[in-house]
A and B are shown apart, each in its own frame.
Chain A
Amino acid sequence: MMITTQGLAWGIPLLRLLAALLLLLAFAMLAQRRLLTLIHLLAWQGVVLAAGTALVALLTGQTELWLSAALTLSLKAILIPTALHRLLRRLQVRGDVETVLNIPLTLLAGIALVIFAFSLAAPITALTSAVTRGMVGIALAAVLLAFLMMITRHQAISQVVGFLAIDNGLFFAATSATLGMPMIVELGVALDALIGFVILGVFFFQIRETFDSMDLQHLEQIREE
């Protein structure tokens, strides 16, 4: 995949900036208690992703990536956050503030994870051209941070936000590190994400109906004997 020298001059720093923003947003989610703000942060991550994809499309001249960028923008930045927002309202947990584990401690753990991600990705990045250096590490860090967020939360909705944030990190790896997966795979992944989200929506109402709450601490009845 060729990138013009002109593109290299301004495109790559811009892509790095977007990568940094993605990571920053992942940290912000980790520290955020309010569910509503959490969803906004997720939407912003979607915007950053779409911008990153569009940038790669512009730099490499792959027309199909424009489609992918449009898909990302509509799905991850608009459709899913809006749906989550409405879901919050219908489930009436809108103003909820979640009790989270000690936030500074979680953030410290997050920093450790980022270091781990970079050291894991180091042998890979050593092999790549200058263009995508560091991207694999950042994407992996974003995935691990989202993972950490899922572990530290009890609310079903924040777990789902973590789940979607993992997806975002993976998507960033696919577009920025490999400069775009094959289109058919990307479409399949997007389709799965959409179906998964619909199923989750159904699921929320089932949980709500059965437990009268979205707090997953109620869901701890199955115990090993």
Chain B
Amino acid sequence: MPILLVLICAATGIPLLALWGDGRRGAALFIGINTLTLLAILALSARVLRDGAFTAGSGQFMVDDLSILLILVDGVVGFSTAWFSRSYMRQEIVHWSLSRRRVRLYHAMFQTFLTTMLLALLTNNMGILWVAMEGATLSTVLLVSLFRTAEGLEAAWKYFILCGVGLAMALFGTILLYFAAQKVLGHGADALLWTHLEAVRRQLQPQVMAIAFIFILVGYGTKIGLSPLNNWLPDAHASGPSSVSAVLSGLLLNVALYAVLRAKVLVDGALGPDFAGRLLMSFGLLSLLVAAFSMLRQRDVKRLFAYSSIEHMGLATFAFGIGAPLASFAGLLHMISHSLTKSSVFFSVGQAVQSVGSREIQRIRGLLAFSPVLGWALMLAVLFILGMPPSGLFLSEFLIITSTLQDQPWLTPVLLLGLGVAFAGIFPRLQGMVFGPAPEGIAHQPVAGIIPVFIQLTLVIVLGVFIPWTLVQWMQHAALLLHG
């Protein structure tokens, strides 16, 4: 019942926003819908807290300790983004003179995206998971090209084709999964239900599962932004509105990684932990390195942080690849903290870009001088994303390095190199952006839009200093689930 409530809250928003999603009422409606969804998600968490994992709708929907964590993050970031979007889009509408129809399209597509993300996390059916991921891709294509600039169109086209092809691979993997499942579970609708598959995962054909997992990893890996399939990610992040970049980085990448993790649990049962683990570790480490070195030569601030998302997702993927409960725990903590922090980074960067009127790092100067609130927001968010204590990312990176030292000691230097280069790529630029005198001719912006940054960063501190016991338990259970 609470599952259905969450989905209904989110889904009814789509037609409402398509009809009335413009002007002041549109932004207010958008916030209202996401507040309700967040409340429904909190109710759902309370239920999970009381009863533990459960399925609903004759097994089609499922919540467990792994998914509830990401659903909560979805709720929080969805709400913050709606809040940020109100003041941010008010400026953008004026700047690009967007028509009322275009604004309705923006809100409706945004809500569709948030709904499909929730559906992906709540469904128990690996096929529907794919359908939801594809839906999320489709709904964001027109958001990336919202401003109809040449650059935006190119980015959106690239996004559409690359992710479309990637997801086609994931669908092939899902078909193969069904092919393997049929032999054990028989023909029919139940053979793709994750809970059923998990129960029989040791009996699934190893050869088929191996090939299925490779397709699923490559497919969803395109969406996670794993190197070398990450080509679309920086373009799409840079060209779209910052509110869209925030949810692309904060939510979409997580959900894609979640899909891979679900498949990993199944393939571990069939093949033992090494096969999937090694693949995840190598993809993760490669992405970390490629992204870290790419950051050094970025001039566009949004591209810079898009590469930072690839780096962090690579790190999380690597952690899940190690597979030890501690590493998986750290990976989950990393995913959650990264979502909250990176969306905050994009909120503040979005606001800064709006004030300065350029995405070039060189031209963003002295933010602290002309808008202390914005300057502090950006500085804290970026320091947190760099893994400074007391951020949750500090704790998770520390744990990841610790468990690497334990399980794969010879990979530790590579890991540290990646993290070091990433630090060198971002930190010097941060100094330039926040300190120094303010340049002339800067438009002052209302600061109400970046309030969620401080709320989210407080949550990240909580994750880094004192994780609530409930969350620890959920993450421990989820880590054990991933351990097999």
Q: Is B353 an interface residue (CB 8 A)?
A: no
Q: Is B205 an interface residue (CB 8 A)?
A: yes
Q: Mark A172-195, 1 if CB is under 8 A from B, else 0.
A: 011001111111110011011001
Give min CB distance, B298 to chain A, whole Å.
7
A210 touches B165 (CB 8 A): no
Residue of A nearest to B235 (CB): A222
Give min CB distance, B104 to chain A, whole Å.
14
A120 touches B148 (CB 8 A): no
Q: Is B153 an interface residue (CB 8 A)?
A: yes
> How far, in whole Å, are A213 and B294 apart by their CA atoms in the complex?
32
Q: Is A127 an interface residue (CB 8 A)?
A: yes
Give min CB distance, B197 to chain A, whole Å.
13
> How far, in whole Å, are A159 and B145 apart by their CA atoms in the complex?
19
> How far, in whole Å, are A90 and B155 apart by their CA atoms in the complex?
24
Which A residues lie within 8 Å of B148 (CB)? 206, 209-210
Q: Is A207 an interface residue (CB 8 A)?
A: yes
Q: Contacting A1 at CB < 8 Å: which of B128, B176, B178, B187? A: B187
Most interface-central of A159, A182, A224 (chain B CB within 10 A): A182
Indicate whether A195 sits within 8 Å of B138 (C-beta atoms), given known contacts A185-B127, A210-B150, A224-B297: yes
Q: Is A83 an interface residue (CB 8 A)?
A: no
Q: Contacting A124 at CB < 8 Å: which of B60, B135, B150, B179? A: B179
Give min CB distance, A97 to chain B, whole Å.
22
Q: Contacting B211 at CB < 8 Å: which of A120, A147, A177? A: A120
- Counting chain A residues whose Cβ lies within 8 A of the other chain, the interface size class is 35 or more
Q: Is A101 an interface residue (CB 8 A)?
A: no
Instruction: Choose, from B43-51, B188-196, B432-440, B469-477, the stretch at the interface.
Output: B188-196
Q: Contacting B168 at CB < 8 Å: which of A143, A156, A202? A: A143
Residue of B nearest to A190 (CB): B131
Give min CB distance, B58 to chain A, whole Å.
11
Q: Is B154 an interface residue (CB 8 A)?
A: yes
A206 touches B153 (CB 8 A): yes
Q: Is A112 an interface residue (CB 8 A)?
A: no
Indicate whether A181 sits within 8 Å of B175 (C-beta atoms), given known contacts A123-B207, A195-B138: yes
Q: Mark B306-324, 1 if CB is under 8 A from A, else 0.
A: 0000000000000000000
**Number of A-B residue pairs having CB atoms within 8 Å of each other in the complex:** 134
Interface residues of B in 157-198 (CB under 8 A from A): 157, 160-161, 164-165, 168, 171-172, 175-176, 178-179, 182-183, 187-189, 191-192
Which B residues lie within 8 Å of A216 (CB)? 157
B150 touches A147 (CB 8 A): no
Which A residues lie within 8 Å of B191 (CB)? 182
Interface residues of A in 37-95 (CB under 8 A from B): none
Which B residues lie within 8 Å of A178 (CB)? 175, 178-179, 182
Q: Contacting B128 at CB < 8 Å: which of A188, A219, A220, A222? A: A188
Residue of A nearest to B134 (CB): A192
Interface residues of B in 113-157 (CB under 8 A from A): 125, 127-128, 130-131, 134-135, 138, 141-142, 145, 148-151, 153-157
Q: Is B90 an interface residue (CB 8 A)?
A: no
Which B residues lie within 8 Å of A124 (CB)? 176, 179, 207-208, 211
Give min CB distance, A218 to chain B, whole Å.
8
> How far, in whole Å, are A210 and B160 apart by their CA atoms in the complex?
18
Which B residues lie within 8 Å of A123 (CB)? 207-208, 211
Q: Is B25 an interface residue (CB 8 A)?
A: no
Q: Is A114 an interface residue (CB 8 A)?
A: no
Which B residues lie within 8 Å of A195 (CB)? 135, 138
Residue of A nearest to B167 (CB): A192
Indicate whether A150 sits within 8 Å of B168 (C-beta atoms), given known contacts A183-B189, A189-B131, A199-B141: no
Give min CB distance, B161 to chain A, whole Å.
6
> How far, in whole Å, are A58 and B44 apart by their CA atoms in the complex?
44
A206 touches B145 (CB 8 A): yes
> How far, in whole Å, are A140 and B151 apart by their CA atoms in the complex?
34
Which A residues lie within 8 Å of B138 (CB)? 192, 195-196, 199
> How far, in whole Å, are A219 and B155 apart by their CA atoms in the complex?
9
> How far, in whole Å, are A90 and B145 apart by their CA atoms in the complex?
22
Q: Contacting B175 at CB < 8 Å: which of A120, A174, A184, A196? A: A174
B128 touches A170 (CB 8 A): no
Residue of A nearest to B208 (CB): A124
Which B residues lie within 8 Å of A221 (CB)? 150-151, 154
Q: Contacting A207 at CB < 8 Å: which of B157, B171, B176, B182? A: B157
Indicate whether A150 sits within 8 Å of B153 (C-beta atoms), given known contacts A120-B211, A222-B235: no
Q: Which residues of B contact A (CB under 8 A)?
A: 60, 125, 127-128, 130-131, 134-135, 138, 141-142, 145, 148-151, 153-157, 160-161, 164-165, 168, 171-172, 175-176, 178-179, 182-183, 187-189, 191-192, 205, 207-208, 211, 235, 294, 297-300
What 3 pairs across the A-B complex have the smallest Cβ distances?
A185-B127, A188-B131, A182-B189
- Write 10 A-B pairs (CB below 8 A) sorted by A numbering: A147-B165, A173-B175, A178-B182, A181-B175, A184-B127, A189-B134, A189-B171, A200-B160, A219-B154, A224-B297
